[in-house]
Structure 1
Amino acid sequence: MGDLNCVDTFNHIVGTLYDAVLYKEPNHFSNALKDFERTIESDSCHLFALDRIGRDIFTVNTHSEDVDQQIQGYYEHFRHMDPRLEKTLNHVGEAYRCTDFFSASFMNRNEFFQDYLVPMGRVFTAGGMISKTEDCSNVIVFNRYKGRKDFNLGELSAIRRLFPHLRRALHLAMQQEVTSLAHNTQAELLQQQSVGVIGLGKHQQVLFANPFARALLGSLRNLGWRGQALRDHSPLALMGRRAHQERKPQVIRVPSDKGVLVITAWASPRQETSHWLPSVSAASDQHLHTCLMVQLLRPGHRLTPALLQQLYGYTSAEARLAKELAQGTTVEDYANSFHVSVATVRTQLRQVLAKSGHARQQDLIAHLAALHTP
């Protein structure tokens, strides 16, 4: 048995947890849990997180690989009937033994214990819900296999001592994707007071929203804005999906008491993702998936190249071309006026159409003309 009261041992375990978050090393996290298991004589540990609707975000197992299939069976068939989860909801941040809640007679007749835990040899468990927020719940379970005694009060106390550090480490781990969003988005764009910016995850959860976006959309409930996520099948959610399906921006105009809101949905570039916390489902993708830009056009707002660059991400040349086309200039006249070839103008026009989400030049011109409010 490990020394439960050894300060150096406990500090090493805690330090390894934080190192895992800092360096994104899954082995560090697993090794820290294994070191802790030795102090409480646990046979295995299962740490996992669920999102707000019960989807699996990540899982860390310290057991051998030969039981991975049984763990997968837990997610697919048994998690919904696990009576321990319901108990932990009422005791967030506290660790308990399974026998603190369930008698031997209950375990002998309960489907979850008899069909899942007992066949795996996991008779005694200890743990609980480390933390719970609107977006995520973190749970950890330590197991003792058949033939072992239950966890004692000293070992349970050690688990409770570890909980605050697990909570902080996991909070930092889950926030790192939000931090990367801020680094990967142009800082000057986020700070502009004239443009609202909202970053969405794969499942319409809000990863970032600057103050201007919240001020503009906060009162327009019919758009589907709920502060923490977009409502399914709402106008904002649907335009985000179309942006990904068609791989080009989607634009809508919404009247408001302050003026006309022009909202553009951008699909983030496809990218390979790596998860230092092993994933058990696609719900673990917390990277920037969709970006919404919100521009307020007040009465008298003039259509300028700078505005077009803000709205659609045009280059200066593309913005100048779009403005001239909206004012009735033909491609040939534009080429002559600005001393470029017609072929170059048509290449730029294709980029202008793609970035604005329009397939035809006449649709683009009609849309840009509508932005020019009298």
Structure 2
Amino acid sequence: MTDDLISQIYECAFKPERWPGLLSDVSARLSGAGASLSITVRAEGADQAVFGDFGHFWTASPDARPIVAAMGDPRFDSPSFFDRLSRGDEPRFYGDNEVLAPGDYESLPMFRDLLIPMGLKWGAGTIFRPPTGATIVFGMRRKTEHGPFQREETQWLDLLRPHVARATLIAARLQLERAEAAAQTLAALGLPALVCDRDGAVQAANALIDENESALVWRARNHFAFRDKLADVKWRQALTSIESDACGAVRSFPVRDAAHIATRVAHVVPIRRTARDLFSQCCAALVLTPVNAAIAPPQDLVRSLFDFTRSEASVAKGLAQGQTVDDMATKSGVSANTVRSHVRAVLEKTGCSRQADVVRLLVGLTLGRADSMNEDP
């Protein structure tokens, strides 16, 4: 039975979508309430001044996902627990009761304020520190009424330990390479881009991002923010909505400079489940395109960039060409009120407050050759 699990572990290295099922299986065999696996790996050649030099990945069984998500809250940060876990006398799994004193359950926020109220007092875990510089944490929780993990149970987990370490390292390296490859492919197209997880932490970025420091400010733990506060709100909203959006629409919004002039358009491109796995946590690519050419863009381009309907895209292009509401109403055979409703939708989707701002934004979009942008589809 253990041999079968070991085979599945190595399958997970190359088919990461199987990790949650494997973790559920391991947890169930020990009457657990869920298991999780995380790894922090060094990204070779990364520029620490830009986005840090580490990638963080995690996966969990379905019943453990809420626990892992909650443990990311700084209020429950308990580094002393993980420090004790990593300083065990032997490289093995330890039950919480082996590394904690009785009073620790009441003093450590992770236990006192989170796990015990959830009825998950007991757990077992291990930390791997391979020579590559990675840190791997494999943890499991158990309901309070089932009692602490016994040594014979953690000994069984020890049989899986080296195989989990190898497979996890393989999986994380593969996903980090894929994220970096995506960012570099966009660089080859001349597009500054970065790849983020669902929390907005950067997993990979290309060198062209360095040229956008006037628009971005870098934060701790590989996070960033737009200097344009409205753009930053749009970015957070786009990231939050990706997981619940079944159609996978690209979200685009203008990025303004200190003079409130749109100098870039940010495009948040979802990495759909068919193109990512549950281990890497890569959620979206952020691509920045410049605004610098006084040319009205073609309607299909405008529509794709801002998720406009065809009617909204037509109105947006009309504004960029200097047409009035009455001009557009006459040309399209609809009422002026209908055109005005489309104008309001265009203002909302571009994040602009005035029609003049929309015109300035749209006539400056550049994607491809200038001569091709004069073509009317």
TM-score range, shorter chain: 0.5 to 0.7
Give me the TM-score of the superposition, normalised by structure 2. Answer: 0.53
1:128 and 2:127 matched:
yes
Following TM superposition, by how much is the alpha carbon of 1:174 offset from its aligned partner in structure 2, in angstroms?
7.2
Following TM superposition, by how much is the alpha carbon of 1:26 offset from its aligned partner in structure 2, in angstroms?
3.6
Following TM superposition, by how much is the alpha carbon of 1:159 offset from its aligned partner in structure 2, in angstroms?
4.2
Task: Kindly provide the CA deviation profile for residues 141-199 of structure 1, in whole angstroms up to 9, marking residues without a partner as x.
Answer: 599966955679x86863442233441476389779969xx7xx9xx9x5773543445
Equivalent runs, 1:292-311 vs 2, <5 Å: 292-295=287-290, 297=292, 301-306=293-298, 309=302
Give secondary structure in 1 for the equivalent of 2:263. strand
Counting aligned pairs with the same residue, the percent is: 16
Following TM superposition, by how much is the alpha carbon of 1:206 offset from its aligned partner in structure 2, in angstroms?
2.8
Aligned to 1:138: 137
- Distance (Å, rounded) in 1 between the aligned partners of 2:307 and 2:167: 42
Following TM superposition, by how much is the alpha carbon of 1:242 offset from its aligned partner in structure 2, in angstroms?
3.8
Give secondary structure in 2 for the equivalent of 1:48. strand
1:163 and 2:164 matched:
yes
Equivalent runs, 1:347-358 vs 2, <5 Å: 349-358=343-352
Give secondary structure in 1 for the equivalent of 2:189. coil
Task: Kindly provide the CA deviation profile for residues 53-100 of structure 1, in whole angstroms up to 9, marking residues without a partner as x.
Answer: xx996544999xxxx999999999996457541134579xx833549x
1:30 and 2:18 matched:
no
Match for 2:82: what amino acid? L
The verdict on how the C-alpha distance between 1:329 and 1:321 changes in structure 2, with shifts beyond 3 A counting, is same
Following TM superposition, by how much is the alpha carbon of 1:202 offset from its aligned partner in structure 2, in angstroms?
4.3
Give secondary structure in 1 for the equivalent of 2:192. strand
Match for 2:92: what amino acid? Y
Task: Name stretches of at least 5 consecutive residues in structure 2 with no aligned partner.
Answer: 41-55, 242-250, 367-377
The verdict on how the C-alpha distance between 1:226 and 1:243 changes in structure 2, with shifts beyond 3 A counting, is closer
- Distance (Å, rounded) in 2 between the aligned partners of 1:26 and 1:159: 16
Aligned to 1:203: 199
The verdict on how the C-alpha distance between 1:150 and 1:285 changes in structure 2, with shifts beyond 3 A counting, is closer
Give secondary structure in 1 for the equivalent of 2:163. helix
Following TM superposition, by how much is the alpha carbon of 1:295 offset from its aligned partner in structure 2, in angstroms?
1.2
Aligned to 1:364: 358
Task: Name stretches of at least 5 consecutive residues in structure 1 with no aligned partner.
Answer: 279-283
The verdict on how the C-alpha distance between 1:303 and 1:171 changes in structure 2, with shifts beyond 3 A counting, is same
- Distance (Å, rounded) in 2 between the aligned partners of 1:74 and 1:335: 55
The verdict on how the C-alpha distance between 1:157 and 1:18 changes in structure 2, with shifts beyond 3 A counting, is same
1:253 and 2:252 matched:
no
Task: Kindly provide the CA deviation profile for residues 297-334 of structure 1, in whole angstroms up to 9, marking residues without a partner as x.
Answer: 2xxx3323149638646689866754553453323335
The verdict on how the C-alpha distance between 1:305 and 1:72 changes in structure 2, with shifts beyond 3 A counting, is closer
User: Out of 5, 27, 35, which is 1:47 matched to?
Assistant: 35
Match for 1:204: what amino acid? G
User: Out of 56, 73, 83, which is 1:86 matched to?
Assistant: 83
Equivalent runs, 1:161-240 vs 2, <5 Å: 161-168=162-169, 171=172, 190=186, 193-206=189-202, 209=205, 212=208, 214-217=209-212, 219-220=213-214, 223-225=216-218, 229-231=222-224, 234-235=226-227, 239-240=231-232
The verdict on how the C-alpha distance between 1:226 and 1:71 changes in structure 2, with shifts beyond 3 A counting, is closer
Task: Kindly provide the CA deviation profile for residues 239-276 of structure 1, in whole angstroms up to 9, marking residues without a partner as x.
Answer: 232466699854233389xxx9723345779x99xx99
Give me the TM-score of the superposition, normalised by structure 1. Answer: 0.54
Match for 2:224: what amino acid? R
Aligned to 1:21: 16
The verdict on how the C-alpha distance between 1:350 and 1:163 changes in structure 2, with shifts beyond 3 A counting, is same
Following TM superposition, by how much is the alpha carbon of 1:44 offset from its aligned partner in structure 2, in angstroms?
4.9
The verdict on how the C-alpha distance between 1:133 and 1:204 changes in structure 2, with shifts beyond 3 A counting, is farther
Give secondary structure in 2 for the equivalent of 1:263. strand
Task: Work out the number of aligned pairs and report it.
Answer: 323
